[in-house]
Structure 1
Amino acid sequence: MSKKSKYVAFHKPYGVLSQFTSEGGHQALSEFSLPKEVYPVGRLDRDSEGLLLLSNDGPFIKRLLDPKFEHPRTYWVQVEGEPQDADLQNLARGVTIKGYRTKRCKAHLLVPQPLIEERDPPVRFRKNIPTTWIEMTLTEGKNRQVRRMTAAIGFPTLRLIRKSIGKLQLGDLAAGEFKFVRKEDILPGRWMEWRLEDTLFHE
C-alpha cells in the first residue's frame, strides 16, 4: 500500500535550522510538532525566516529542486541603506559573486514599506543609517544568494523573509505554525503536467 503524499507549508522562525536534528544548540524542526515522514524541500538558512515547504513525495521534491525548472521564490529583504532604482536595476540584471554571474531576477522597492513585527532578537540598529525593505524574486537558490547579491551592490541584508515558493504564499501563517497544502497549490498546472509526463516515461 502506497503512503499518502503530504505537502506542508511551515513558517520557519529566525534561528531555527531547516532540519530535524539540532546542531550547535540551535532549534531544529523537531521542536514544532510537524507531521511525521515529511522532509524539507530545499532549505532556509538559520538566520532567514519565512516559508519552508516539507513533503514526503520523493519525485515531487526531486523535480522541485531541479534547477532547470527555475521555479520562482520571492523574498522580502530588509537592507541597510536606501537603494535607488539604478541599484535595483543592477541587482535585477545579475551580479557577480565569487566568479559566478547570477541569473536575472526581479527586484523592486516595497511601497509602502511593510510594517513587520520585530524579530527576536532584533536586527542591529544604527541611528544614522536607514533601512529599506525590497522584494526579490529569484529562479535559482545558491547558498546565501540573496544576502550575497545585496552585499554586492553595497546594501547588506539585515533580515530575510521568504514570502512564496511557486504559487504558494506564506500569507498570514504565524511563525512556528504550519498547514497542509495541495500539490497544485505550489506549482502551476503546466509544470505538474510535465512531471506526470516524466513519471509515465521514466519511472
Structure 2
Amino acid sequence: MLEKNFTRLNKYLSEVGYCSRREADKLIDQGRVTINGKVPEMGTKVTPDDIVRVDGDLVNQTKEKHVYLAFNKPVGIVCTTAKNEKDNIIDYINYPKRIFPIGRLDKPSEGLIFLTSDGDIVNKILRARNNHEKEYVVTVNKLINPLFIKRMSNGVPILDTITRKCEVEQISKYDFRIVLTQGLNRQIRRMCEYLGYEVMKLKRIRIMNVPLDVPLGEWRYLTEKELEILNTDVGDSSKTEEASVLEDTQPKKRTNNSRRFTSKNHKKGNSNKRSAQRSRDKKRKDRRN
C-alpha cells in the first residue's frame, strides 16, 4: 500500500472528528486506543482498512462536514470534555454532535471560545508560535497608571519566561484592553499579580478575525466569510509535530493579520547560541590542524 494512504493515529482521530490531536495523544498514551485489536505505540500509522476503537467502541470513519461554533462562555463553566466535571462546557452547550473546545478560558473568566469537530484546525490555532491574536478586556482592583500599562506591554516575568511584548490600552480607571499572541497558563492574571494587581473580571472579546457578538451563554455558527479568513490565517501554521520544535529555532514570517514581537531576552538567547556554535566550530578546526 502506498505510504500516502497511511495516517498518524492521532491525526486520524482528529480528522474523523473524534477528538483533537492533543486529546488523541492522551488516549493513545493511556492505552485506550486499539488498531485491529492491538494497543499501538505513539506515532503508529493507520490505513483506511484498519479497525480503530477507543475504549472498545468503533471509531466512525465516515467524514462528516465539520462544525465550528463561537460560544460566549459564562463564568463557572469549565473548558473540558471530561464528563466527571459537572460544569463542563460540552454538557452546557449540549450540541448533538461530538465537539471539543479550541484551547481554554479558565473557570473564573468569560467570553469567546471556539468549539469544533475539526481536530486539525484545533492544533493549528493552539500552537503559540503561530502568533494568532486573542483580545481581552480586563478589570483590576486598583487604579491603573501609565507604568502598569508600559510594563504589561513590554513583557512580564512569569512561569520561568518573559511574556511577549503585546498591545495594551487603558480604557477606564480600572479597565484595560490587551491583545495576546501566546497562551501561557492564566497569563493575564499572573502578569497582573506580578505587578501587584488582582484581576476582578476578565472577558475575551476576539479570537483572530472573529469578534464576540452573541449574548452570554449562547453560541452561533461561524460564518462562511469568517471561516474563509480563519483558514487563510492558519493555512501556513505549523502542524503538530513541526510546532513541537522550540520556537527560537524556527524563523518567523511577518503577516498582515498578526503583530510579531521578539523580546530582548529571546534575541540574546539566539546570540548566545550562535556564539557557542562558532566556538565549537573553532575547536573542531583547531583539532584538524
TM over 0.5: yes
Checking the alignment, whether the CA contact within 8 Å between 1:15 and 1:27 is kept in structure 2 is no
Match of 1:138 in 2: 180
TM-score by length of 2: 0.56
Match of 1:18 in 2: 79
Specify which of 153, 170, 181 is matched with residue 195 of structure 2.
153
Shift of 1:94: 0.3
Match of 2:269 in 1: none
Specify which of 117, 135, 144 is matched with residue 56 of structure 1.
117
Checking the alignment, whether the CA contact within 8 Å between 1:17 and 1:29 is kept in structure 2 is no
1:105 aligned onto 2:184: no
Unaligned runs of 5+ in 2: 1-61, 240-289
**TM superposition outliers: structure 1 runs of 4+ over 4 Å:** 22-25, 186-190
Equivalent positions of 1:52-91 (< 5 A) are 52-91=113-152
Equivalent positions of 1:35-50 (< 5 A) are 35-50=96-111
Specify which of 162, 168, 175 is matched with residue 204 of structure 2.
162
Q: Percent identity?
A: 27
The AA in structure 2 aligned to 1:42 is G
Shift of 1:34: 2.8
Which has the larger displacement, 15-24 or 145-154? 15-24
Highest RCO, 1 vs 2 (Cα 8 Å, sep ≥ 6):
1
Which has the larger displacement, 153-162 or 23-32? 23-32
Distance of 2:224 and 2:140 partners within structure 1? 33
Q: Which protein is richer in helix relative to its size?
A: 2
Q: Which protein is richer in strand relative to its size?
A: 1
Partner SS, residue 60 of structure 1: helix
Checking the alignment, whether the CA contact within 8 Å between 1:16 and 1:29 is kept in structure 2 is no
Partner SS, residue 194 of structure 1: coil
> What number of residue pairs does the alignment pair up?
177
Match of 2:247 in 1: none
Checking the alignment, whether the CA contact within 8 Å between 2:80 and 2:88 is kept in structure 1 is no
TM-score by length of 1: 0.79
What's the CA shift string for 1:46-78, capped at 9, x where partnerless? 111000101111111111111111100001101
